[in-house]
C-alpha cells in the first residue's frame, strides 16, 4: 500500500479519560518537558490530574483541563513520530482535526510552537468554561438515523416549540451530534424519541459547541489570534469545518468561525477517500475517529488501513507498518 497518502487525525474534547497516555512517559521521557510546560500553564500538575491522584481525575471533565491534556498528549506523540523519523514528511498527505483537534493539527502542521499552542488552547478552554457557566449548554449524539431525516425532524421541532436545536457534528452516516441550550436539547431528545429515534446519548460536555450560541467566544478567539504571528506550514492542514485547505492568512478566520460552524467529518473523510488517501492515523487519546473513518470507508467501498495511538502497542503497530 502506498505510504505517501497518510492522513493524520486529531481528536477533540470528549476523547479524554483518566490515565490516558501516562505509560508513554516511561518510553518517551524526553517529552516530560511538554507536561511540565502544560502544568506551568495551568499552574497545576497535569500528570496528577490525568492519573487521578487524590480524586483529581474529575477535573478532566472540565473543558479547560480536558483541552490542555488532549493537546499536550497529541503533541508529544506527533513529535515522537516526526523527530525520530518514523513518519517521514513525504508520507503525510494531510493533517486534520475534529473541533479542538484542529489546534493539535495546526501545531503539527507548523503554524505555531508548542508553547504558543498551549496558551491558545488555554485561552479557548477558559472562555468555553466561562460560557458554560452562563449558558448551561448540552450536546448529544443521535445514532442510527439518516442525517436528512434528523434535519427534517429538527425543523419540525423548531416549528412546534419555537426553539432552536442545532446539528453540530456530522460524524458518520449514522452518528450526528445535536447541540444547544440544555433545556432545549433535553426537550428535543424527547421529541426525537417520540418520533422513532431511540438511541440518543448525551455527551460528557457542558457547552453548546458549533452553534451560533458560541458567537461571543468565537469573536474573542479571533481577537486573541490577531496578536499571534503564524509561521509558514510544513504540512497541509485541512479544516473539517470550512472543508478546505485554508491559506495561512485564512487560519485566523477558520479558528474564529470554528466554534459556530458544523464539524462535517463525513464530507472531510469522503474528500480524502476521493483523493486516494488510504492510511489514517489517529493521534491522541481514544479511538473515536478511527471508528468513524472505518464506517465511512466501508460505506464508500474503500479499502483503507486505520491506526491509532491510544496505547503503546497501537503506536508500535503503526511503526511496524512503516518499516
State the catalytic residues: 99, 210
Reference 225, options 299, 123, 113; nearest CA is: 123
- Cα gap 99→263, rounded to integer Å: 7
Q: 184 and 215 in contact (C-beta within 8 Å)? A: no
Burial of 303 (0-12, 13-18, 19+ CB in 10 A): exposed
Distances (CA, A) of 88 to 6, 79, 92, 293: 10, 12, 7, 23
- Cα gap 137→6, rounded to integer Å: 36
Alpha helices in 169-261 (DSSP H): 182-194, 215-225, 251-258
Question: Residue 305 pairs with which residues in a beta bridge?
Answer: 279
Strand, helix or coil for residue 31: helix
Beta-carbon contacts of residue 214 (< 8 Å; ≥ 6 apart): 128, 131, 207, 208, 259, 260
Q: 297 and 304 in contact (C-beta within 8 Å)? A: yes
Q: CA 293, 298, 302, 306: dihedral to nearest 10 degrees?
A: 40
Q: CA 114, 120, 124, 130: dihedral to nearest 10 degrees?
A: 110
- Cα gap 94→245, rounded to integer Å: 9
Can you say whether the dihedral through the CA atoms of 51, 54, 56, 58 is positive or negative? positive
Amino acid at each position: 500500500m502506498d505510504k505517501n497518502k497518510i492522513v493524520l487525525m486529531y481528536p477533540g474534547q470528549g476523547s479524554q479519560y483518566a490515565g490516558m497516555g501516562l505509560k508513554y512517559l516511561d518510553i518517551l521521557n524526553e517529552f516530560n518537558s511538554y507536561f511540565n510546560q502544560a502544568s506551568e500553564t495551568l499552574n497545576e500538575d497535569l500528570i496528577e490530574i490525568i492519573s487521578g491522584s487524590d480524586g483529581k481525575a474529575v477535573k478532566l471533565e472540565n473543558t479547560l483541563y480536558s483541552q490542555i491534556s488532549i493537546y499536550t498528549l497529541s503533541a508529544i506523540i506527533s513529535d515522537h513520530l516526526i523527530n525520530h523519523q518514523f513518519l517521514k514528511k513525504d508520507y503525510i498527505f494531510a493533517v486534520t482535526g475534529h473541533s479542538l483537534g484542529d489546534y493539535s493539527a495546526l501545531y503539527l502542521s507548523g503554524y505555531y510552537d508548542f508553547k504558543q499552542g498551549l496558551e491558545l488552547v488555554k485561552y479557548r478552554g477558559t472562555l468555553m468554561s466561562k460560557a458554560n457557566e452562563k449558558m448551561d449548554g448540552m450536546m448529544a449524539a443521535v445514532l442510527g438515523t439518516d442525517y436528512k431525516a434528523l434535519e427534517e425532524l429538527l425543523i419540525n421541532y423548531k416549528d412546534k416549540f419555537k426553539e432552536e436545536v442545532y446539528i453540530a457534528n456530522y460524524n458518520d452516516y449514522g452518528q450526528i451530534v445535536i447541540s444547544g441550550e440544555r433545556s432545549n436539547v433535553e426537550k428535543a431528545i424527547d421529541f426525537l424519541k417520540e418520533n422513532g429515534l431511540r438511541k440518543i446519548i448525551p455527551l460528557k460536555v457542558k457547552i453548546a459547541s458549533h452553534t451560533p450560541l458560541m458567537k461571543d467566544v468565537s469573536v474573542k478567539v479571533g481577537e486573541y489570534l490577531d496578536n499571534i504571528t503564524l509561521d509558514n506550514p510544513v504540512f497541509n492542514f485541512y479544516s473539517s469545518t470550512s472543508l478546505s485547505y485554508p491559506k495561512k492568512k485564512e487560519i485566523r478566520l477558520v479558528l474564529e468561525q470554528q466554534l459556530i460552524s458544523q464539524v462535517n467529518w463525513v464530507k472531510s473523510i469522503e474528500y480524502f477517500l476521493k483523493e486516494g488517501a488510504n492510511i489514517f492515523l489517529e493521534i491522541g487519546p481514544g479511538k473515536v475517529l478511527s471508528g468513524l473513518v472505518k464506517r465511512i470507508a466501508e460505506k464508500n467501498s474503500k479499502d483503507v488501513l486505520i491506526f491509532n495511538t491510544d496505547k503503546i502497542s497501537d503506536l508500535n503497530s503503526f511503526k511496524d507498518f512503516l518499516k
